[in-house]
Structure 1
Amino acid sequence: MAIHYRSGKDFYRHKLKSCRDSLATDKKRIFDNSIKENIINTPEYQEAENILIYCSFGSEAGTRDIIIKALADNKNVFCPKITDTRNRKMEFIRIRSLNDFCEGKYSIPEPVMDSDSVIYKKSDGKSVIILPGLAFDFKGNRIGYGGGYYDNYMKCFENELSNGNMNSIAIGYDFQYVQDDISEFMTKSDIKTNVVITDKEIYRT
């Protein structure tokens, strides 16, 4: 049966999610470790005081070991929590350990948020935000899951992104880094990244 896609984005989402879902557990573990090593050896990570990073779910490129490493390196680690589904908004909440997560929206692990929670705001120090996604290209274009949460969030930090106080790094497996130019599928609301890190390479635009 033929599958009909509403858009080019849908094609890449379906194709690459299927590839990711079929990745064997042992290979995934090896690839995740390679991604972690590539990230922590970048100047962006090493110079950052704050690491904004999702807690991986399902077949996403694994981030738990990155979180553990960042905490051990005395980084301030912040993880996303959806706060408004209607307007596609989220905040990044500081965590102290992997025990600070609970099941959130869409069954995704999210940090517990209460009156004592520290929410990431604009910082004088350097920060890195780690972006999930399904497809990335050589121009820094990124196809996510279609919610727009990260694009909406990053718009609030355009000045930090432009002046270098915040760097964005998209991560995924090397087969998610496509050779096609996917610019035609991007909209004005889609924000590019300057760095894509996979298990094999560090790609810079």
Structure 2
Amino acid sequence: MTKAVIRSQIKQKRKEVTAYEIDRASRQITSQITSCKRFEDAETIFLYAAFNVEIQTRFLDEFARSKGKKTAYPKIQSDIGEISFYCINSLKELQAQSYRTMKIYEPDPQLHKKVLPAKNDIIIVPGLAFDLQGNRIGYGGGFYDKYLKSYPEVYKLGICMDFQLFNQIPAEVFDVKIDGIVTETSYYLPF
């Protein structure tokens, strides 16, 4: 299957997922992540503000803050094809922005401090599909691949529901592999 076919199939399948199922899976994924040593050692957790039927990161944000960790969220700079991450104090500080057909909540670079990942930090990577070799199919903008290429030492963790995990998906030379995947039922690492 091509990336386009997989994207289409996953988007269709996600339409069948209820808010309750997303909430339950998000809590289960958070529980798995927060119980690992890598999370304990991280100073900053790089998250994304979920939209539509993505795994919700707000539970992970809340738990990280309760443990004294910083959380950072991406700001898309579509004019230069990049993302940058900014630390925030509260999810309420994120502002709705339109990108393509998506409404994404982002930090305001005028109000928030830009942050770069350190070796022990974790970046939670969104995606439509993942495979057991560490490959990921995103939304097609290439922002995360470009960003992750600049920080190979940061731990890259994909989160998704079980139906988004494949044995193998197509990968290009410019795709950056992730280091682990957490679903509502399993933790896959290392690759």
Count of equivalent residues: 187
CA contact (8 A) 1:51 1:78 kept: yes
TM-score, normalised with respect to structure 2: 0.92
1:86 to partner: Cα distance: 3.4
Where do 5+ consecutive residues of structure 1 fail to align? 1-6
Deviation at 1:105, TM superposition (A): 3.5
1:95 Cα deviation after fit: 0.5
Contact 1:71 1:97 in 2 (8 A): no
> Which residue does the alignment assign to 1:157?
151
1:122 Cα deviation from its structure 2 partner: 4.8
- Greater helix share, structure number: 1
Higher strand share: 2
CA distance in 2, matches of 1:39, 1:67: 12
Amino acid of the residue matched to residue 164 of structure 2?
Answer: Q
Which residue in the other structure is 2:83 paired with? Answer: 90
Cα-to-partner distance string for 1:149-187 (whole Å, 9 max, x where unaligned): 0001111112xx2xxxx21100000111112x22xx211
Q: Which residue of 2 aligns with 1:199?
A: 184
In structure 2, runs of 5+ residues without a counterpart are none
Deviation string 1:63-111 (CA, Å, 9 cap, x unpaired) is 111111111111111100012x133201000011111100124220001
TM-score relative to the length of structure 1: 0.86
DSSP-derived class of the 1:86 partner = coil
2:63 alignment partner in structure 1: 69
Aligned to 1:3: none
Q: Which has the larger radius of gyration?
A: 1
Q: Secondary structure at 2:174's aligned position in 1?
A: coil
> What is the CA-CA distance between 1:21 and the residue it aligns to?
2.2
Q: CA deviation at 1:121?
A: 2.2
Equivalent residue number for residue 176 of structure 1: 164
RMSD over aligned Cα atoms = 1.4
